[in-house]
Amino acid sequence: MTPLEIEALGLSLLVSGWAVAGSLPLGLACAWLLARCDFPGKAVVDGLIHLPLVLPPVVVGYVLLVVLGRRGVVGSWLFDWFGVTIAFTWKGAAIASAVIAFPLMVRAIRLSLEGVDRGLEQAARTLGCGPVRTFFSVTLPLMLPGVLTGVILSFARSLSEFGATITFVSNIPGETRTLPIALYALTQTPGGDAAALRLCVISVVVAFAALLASELLSRRLQARLKA
């Protein structure tokens, strides 16, 4: 692989990894909220969480820029108090990816949570486990296959994130030039076709490997529960 390819691939993995790791706790919380709680305005929350799934990614990117940009509502505050800049950095790329992939993660986790037998949780309670302990010793292990699916799906979605990323953090070599963005740049460059094709192949291989790994892991987990 060329240095450009290695850089783009490494950056993609870094950005997607952080996007997933950062959004997982929030994803679990949102899935819990939607699966287990009833509150007024639940439909609105549900809609907001799923919005990035149907909005053009460019819209998401632009909103992020307005909010988190150096002069944005939150962004200016972050810069003034902590000296942190998010826009046009890899952190911004991770946030953009996380927002776009979030609905996929929440959906998968929520489904697995709804599949957990509440009777088992009740049994754990009668055996002396408080609610938190019950969650970690019974609920979470039982929903692990779904959590894993959510993680891999959102990781794969993050890898392919383009619209929101380029709008929010642009195309900066070594900072925000992930695989799809490098690929797009190459297609805009005369004579870049061969290199673009190589990036295409790399993208397909990485995405496919992620899906395959998820399927295998999920099968092993399911088998452990059944055997």
Interface positions with other proteins (CB under 8 A): 117, 119-120, 122-130, 133, 137-138, 141-142, 224-227
CA–CA separation, 23 and 105 (whole Å):
9
CA distance between the termini of the chain: 43
Nearer to other proteins, 6 or 123 (CB): 123
Report, in Å, the least distance between residue 202 CB and other proteins. 37
Nearer to other proteins, 207 or 217 (CB): 217
Report, in Å, the least distance between residue 123 CB and other proteins. 4
Nearer to other proteins, 127 or 209 (CB): 127
Helix 3-36 × helix 90-114 angle, to 10°: 40
Nearer to other proteins, 122 or 189 (CB): 122
Report, in Å, the least distance between residue 119 CB and other proteins. 5
Query: For 69, which DSSP code?
Result: S
CA–CA separation, 85 and 70 (whole Å):
7
Pick from 182, 184, 158: nearest CA to 172: 182
Report, in Å, the least distance between residue 130 CB and other proteins. 5
CA 9, chain centre distance (Å): 17
Report, in Å, the least distance between residue 114 CB and other proteins. 17
Nearer to other proteins, 137 or 189 (CB): 137
CA–CA separation, 47 and 191 (whole Å):
44
Nearer to other proteins, 26 or 142 (CB): 142
Distances (CA, A) of 44 to 26, 34, 50, 64, 156: 17, 11, 10, 20, 27
Report, in Å, the least distance between residue 211 CB and other proteins. 24
